[in-house]
A = this chain, B = another copy of it.
Amino acid sequence: MRKNGPTIGDVAALAEVSRATVSRVMNGSTTVDPGIAERVRSAAASLNYRPSNLARSLSLGRTGTVAVSVPDLRNPMLHAVLQGVTEAAERDGYHLLVSIAGEDIAAEEAHFLDARQRCDGLILINPRGPQEQLRAVLQQAAPAVVVNRETSTLPAPCLSIDHQYGLTLLIEHLVSLGHRHLAYVAGPQGAVSDPPRRRAVSAALDTHPQLRIDIVDGGRDVFDGRRAAESAVSTGATGVLVFNDLVAVGLLARLHELGVDVPGEVSVTGFDDIDLSHCSFPALTTVGVPHHDLGRAAWAEMAALLREPGVDRRTVRSFRPQLVLRESTEQVPA
């Protein structure tokens, strides 16, 4: 079993001190004779010794890292969130450990707990799976923070983007431009952010009795957008609300091929304000989403939990998107 690197014992032997002393030196204890300390340091250096994180964590009862679980990495929205979390965590001296849950929703629970056990905490981003299961996981995984899940009083802090508000912003914008018939190109099956948008649609229909909104199948990527283009226009809508910017870009491309003028004949909106929405033809009206802030806030919650273990915080906070007007929307033609 000893094919691994040098252990604290080897260093102790070489420096002719006890393991306890080596430990003290490695952890920068001041109560060590400078001469001895130096001897230990050079022994460690010459052996190329690195303390085992595993053993250290086991003994210390903490690892200095927290796990972030994401469903899959294709969603560009995740990168901004991850970026935010990483930066904040780094500042607090914590490492992040991204674990990709993968397609298999059934295996998700095991994945979560596995990741959690190597770390001091768990941040779940866009967790899928039934409410009950999530609840159970959260119980065992504390401290945990949930990002972007419909919050129905889960036993953990829940942060999310207010997708309903975002879509409402876009709908109101189109309505104010005179549109009375819209289409919503929906997200993929099981997307956590789809239901709130559908709620925005319902709410808008209540608010504006003369408004009509058809829902058509969409998806998550540019190809889904291409495919949805024809169904969307065939509804006769003058405004198309698309699940996100990526899908919208695909849809715009197809509309272009079909010779449908945007925004002349139909207006199109996206969601997320990704870089690309500047570069589509025409540039995309969308809502900007504070993913980065969301990430930072998620870390803040985690940091708080780490600081005072035991307390069960249940902060619920949602972040509001902002309208970003570009060329893809305009008055409905008379």
Contacts and interface: CB of A to CB of B under 8 A. Distances in A.
28 contacts: A1-B61, A5-B140, A50-B117, A50-B140, A52-B58, A53-B118, A54-B58, A54-B118, A58-B58, A73-B78, A73-B79, A74-B79, A76-B76, A90-B102, A96-B99, A96-B100, A97-B97, A98-B98, A98-B99, A98-B100, A118-B118, A221-B275, A222-B276, A226-B279, A249-B276, A249-B279, A253-B281, A276-B276
A114 interface: yes
Interface in A1-25: 1, 3-5
Most B C-beta atoms less than 10 A away, residue of A74, A117, A226: A117
Contact of A113 (B50, B65, B74, B114): B50
A170 interface: no
A72 B250 CA distance: 26
A72 B61 CA distance: 29
A260 to B, nearest CB: 14
B58 A55 contact: yes
Contacts of A54: 54, 57-58, 63, 117-118
A310 interface: yes
A281 B310 contact: no
A240 to B, nearest CB: 16
Given A140-B48, A250-B279, A279-B249, A73 B63 contact: no
Given A50-B113, A54-B118, A58-B54, A86 B98 contact: no
